[in-house]
Amino acid sequence: MAKFKVVIGTDHVGIQYVDELIDTFPEIDFIAAYDPTEHKEAIRDADVFFGWPDDQAFSAARQLKWIACPGMGIDKIVAYQNIVDSDVPITNAPGTHVTSMGDHVIGAMIGLTHRFQEAFEDRQKKIWDTQKYASRITELTGTTVGIFGLGAIGRAVADRVAAFGTTTFAIDPGPSNIPASVRECWNLDRMDDLCRISNFLVIAAPVLENTRNSIDARRIALMPKGSYIIVISRGEIVDEDAMCDALESGHLAGAALDATAVEPLDERSRLWSLDNVILTPHSSALTPELYEMRRQAFKANLRKFSAGEPLENVCDKTAGF
């Protein structure tokens, strides 16, 4: 295969990665263009783009043959119709985020039920008040966990919560496999049922037309009083205003969000100030292991591309993952 050009359009996996690629693939022309304002020019004669191109950058491409999404979710890429309508394949790096995100959900559940944030604030103020927490700490054992989205993350959560003696149900229109830790997996038409029984509702689904804003005020009201919402995949799935209302009224006991509908989160959002909310900046997966796996995933596919072999992890652009 003739020498081709690859644009590294993000420093997501580290600025040293370009040098690593040049050493590994000396026959390939690599261009680093981390600033989105550089994408339009860099992509013009590129064969491969590693990163998240927008519609204008994609329109400038004359010979693009492959978009390599460094992570799992491709929603930022397929938000542009000209990319969806094209025959340029998009690949992703599945599995790299699963362990850390599964761990994060468990940490959030325990942090909420054991009121770690409140205890941290007491520590800062040097307050030692044991009685304050009497009967306000709750156990995971015996609770029902509902998982919206039984992909790799959802399965990781199900396996982990099983160790706490929970009963777990899930919603997924087409699960690849249902682990023994999930009692039943239902279709999307059972979402109301899942909400009714979930002491913890874990959002692990992708953002699609039929999932966006699907956890609205009506469905939040269906959840048991004193229940929790954990958002680990995408914030656009939950109506944040309705969730804040339920948190303020006491209907929801707490929430943990690693993703919000708009990122960075608006400074005016109530999520910043509610004391029963754990908020992390879409950071749950960002371990050294994740970055290394994503670097290796792109290298493996680049070898296939160079050899003219079929790419791995090609996404369904219309499905959004």
Q: What is the pLDDT of residues 115-147, one digit of tens each?
A: 999 999 999 999 999 999 999 999 999 999 999
How many C-beta neighbours within 10 Å does residue 150 have?
Answer: 27
Angle at alpha carbon of residue 260, lines to 257 and 261, rounded to 5°: 150
- Residue 176 has a pLDDT of 82
Q: Give mean pLDDT, residues 10-35.
A: 97
Give residue 169's pLDDT band: very low, low, confident or very high (50, 70, 90). Answer: very high
Q: One fold for both 5-94+288-306 and 98-279?
A: yes
Q: What is the DSSP string of 225-265?
A: TTEEEEE-S-GGGB-HHHHHHHHHHTSEEEEEES--SSSSP
CATH 3.40.50.11440 matches 98-279: no
Q: What is the pTM of this model?
A: 0.89
Q: Mean pLDDT across the chain, nearest whole number?
A: 96
The share of the chain scoring above pLDDT 70, in percent, equals 98
CATH of 5-94+288-306, one of 3.40.50.720, 1.10.3080.10, 3.40.50.1100, 3.20.20.370: 3.40.50.720
Q: What is the pLDDT of residues 263-297, one digit of tens each?
A: 999 999 999 999 999 999 999 999 999 999 999 99
- Residue 252 has a pLDDT of 98
Kindly list the domain boundaries of the chain, sorted by start residue.
5-94+288-306, 98-279
Is a pLDDT exceeding 90 seen at residue 15? Answer: yes
**CA dihedral in degrees (117, 122, 123, 125; nearest 10)?**
130
Q: What is the pLDDT of residues 218-247, one digit of tens each?
A: 999 999 999 999 999 999 999 999 999 999
| Cα–Cα distance for residue pair 302/91, rounded to 1 Å | 11
Is a pLDDT exceeding 60 seen at residue 1? Answer: no
| Cα–Cα distance for residue pair 103/41, rounded to 1 Å | 40
Cα–Cα distances in Å, from 227 out to 200, 255, 296? Answer: 6, 9, 40
Task: Identify the weakest region by mean pLDDT among 142-146, 171-175, 195-199.
Answer: 171-175
- Residue 10 has a pLDDT of 98
- Residue 320 has a pLDDT of 62
Give residue 318's pLDDT band: very low, low, confident or very high (50, 70, 90). Answer: confident
- Residue 73 has a pLDDT of 86
Is a pLDDT exceeding 80 seen at residue 319? Answer: no
β-pair partners for 123: none
- Residue 208 has a pLDDT of 86
- Residue 177 has a pLDDT of 86
Q: Determine what percent of the chain falls in helix, strand and coil, rounding each to the nearest 5.
A: 35, 15, 50
Q: Is 43 exposed, middle or buried (0-12, 13-18, 19+ CB in 10 A)?
A: buried
Q: Let me know: does 140 contact 164? Beta carbons within 8 Å.
A: yes
Give residue 2's pLDDT band: very low, low, confident or very high (50, 70, 90). Answer: low
Is a pLDDT exceeding 90 seen at residue 321? Answer: no
- Residue 132 has a pLDDT of 96
According to DSSP, residue 300 is labeled H
Length of the chain: 321
Residues 6+ apart with CB under 8 A from 128: 122
- Residue 12 has a pLDDT of 95
- Residue 67 has a pLDDT of 98
- Residue 175 has a pLDDT of 87
